[in-house]
Amino acid sequence: MTTYFCRLYDPFGAQLATIQNFTSGPGGGALEYVLNASPAGMGTLQLTVPSTFNANLFFRDGRLIPYRVFPGQPPIMDNGACYLIDRLDFPYGYTQVTARSVKSLMERRIIAYPAGSTYASKTAAAADDRIKTIWGENAGASISAANRDGAETQADISAYVTTQANVSAGASVAKSFARRNMADVAREYCEASQTAGTYLTYDIIAPTPNTLDLRTYATQRGVDHSATSGYPVILSVGRGNLANPVLTRDYSQECTFAIAAGTGEGTQRLVQTTADTIRMAQSPFGRIERFFDMSNVSDTTSLQDDADAGVRNGRPLIYMVGDLIETAATTRGLHFDLGDIVTVEDPRTLQRFDARIDVIRVAVAQGGQRSMIGLRSL
């Protein structure tokens, strides 16, 4: 049986404690964390420890790293996941710690350069490389203090977060994004690449317990374990590796016609549109319009990418959630893991489809442990 523990580090990466004496608070699990592989997703971790544990070891931005132990093997970090502490609660008898994925560092920065500058308007290039460039220009050694808004005190954190080398694997994307949140821009680059035919996501992981690295993943985050691959993983109730599955087909956020509007006013405003006439034709009410206000974008190619992404992201969502039952042939971390593509069988609809493992939720308490997965169709 796989077991879990958690290691605590200070904000600079120095180890402070190993935590395995969990206690259950009224809210449930003692250690519960979410791994999220999607560009828009953000993993979280909640840890509950007895009041006897030294709470002075929990710092703002202290690092928490979950470990898994397979029988007869040394501990391993779970997918390089690292979480930064951002909340502490002190009920009677225990301490509850809440942390967010270190990927949330991307949310802390604004692309604080003026519109039209080379720092806020990028010509077409591989989207994965552009994400790394933008990070370097706003959180790394490539910051231009002469061009960026305000003082740059502690802006460069390249001593703590390294950046994977460029591999030019994403689709070519042009984009403008003056004074916008960096996480939003990174997500849009991923969406534009996927719209152009190449899946793309990014993450900040801990390659080792005291290092951090910004990485991008093109084509797939993990490995193709679909039924037609050389190493298939099929999850189903009948095979004993999936329980309580819930299949959802969600049309509530569907979009079949997107309008992206850029700079200008009135009839002079730049506008690009995209339509999915096949999905429109499935219902007499199938034209579902969305407007995307991209008022700082002056490039029509970028606007077209935004409109295309709006329609693609507006496809009906097919996903499944369920309890993962690890077997000798399907053990997470040995045979498949976060970001991998697997084949899923639904017992009610008899639908079989390939899906990406986007979310894994682990809950460990004194009474046992539970793993839940979220799978999204390709």
* Pair (174, 228) in one structural domain: no
CA–CA separation, 63 and 44 (whole Å): 12
> Which pLDDT band holds residue 198 (cuts at 50, 70, 90)?
very high
Do both 118 and 131 map to the same domain? yes
Strand partners, 46: 32, 98
pTM listed for this prediction: 0.89
Instruction: Single out the residue in 38, 73, 105 at which a domain terminates.
Output: 105
Task: Answer yes or no: are the C-beta atoms of 260 and 273 closer than 8 Å.
Answer: yes
The confidence score (pLDDT) of residue 345 equals 93
Do 338 and 242 share a structural domain? yes
Element of type H or E holding 300: helix 300-312
364 and 232 in a common domain? yes
Q: In three state form, how does the secondary structure of 81-92 look?
A: CCEEEEEEECCC
**Are 228 and 348 part of one and the same domain?**
yes
- What's the rounded Cα separation, in Å, for the pair 123 and 121? 7
**Are residues 19 and 64 located together in one domain of the fold?**
yes
DSSP-based three-state secondary structure for 185: helix
Q: Which amino acid is present at 144?
A: S
Q: Where is the domain boundary, 86, 105, 124?
A: 105
Task: Please check whether residues 146 and 268 belong to one and the same domain.
Answer: no
Distance separating alpha carbons of residues 171 and 150, to the nearest angstrom: 33
Pairing of strands 341-345, 224-225: parallel
Whether residue 116 has pLDDT greater than 90: no
Task: Look at residue 373 and tell me whether its pLDDT is greater than 50.
Answer: yes
Is the confidence at residue 322, as pLDDT, over 90?
yes
Please report the pLDDT score of residue 375 as a whole number.
93
Same domain, residue pair 228 and 357: yes
Q: Are strands 289-293 and 257-261 parallel, antiparallel or unpaired?
A: parallel
Parent domain of 74? 3-105
Are 222 and 242 in contact by the 8 Å Cβ rule? The answer is no
15, 209 Cβ separation under 8 angstroms: yes
Structural domain count, the chain: 4
Q: Which residue has the higher pLDDT, 27 or 46?
A: 46
Question: Are residues 347 and 245 both part of a single domain?
Answer: yes
The token duo for 255 is 């979009």
Tell me: do 19 and 151 sit in the same domain: no
Domain of residue 356, CATH code: 2.40.30
Nearest to 375 by CA among 345, 347, 348: 345
Average confidence (pLDDT) over 204-222: 95
CA distance 330 to 235: 9
Same domain assignment for residues 351 and 237? yes
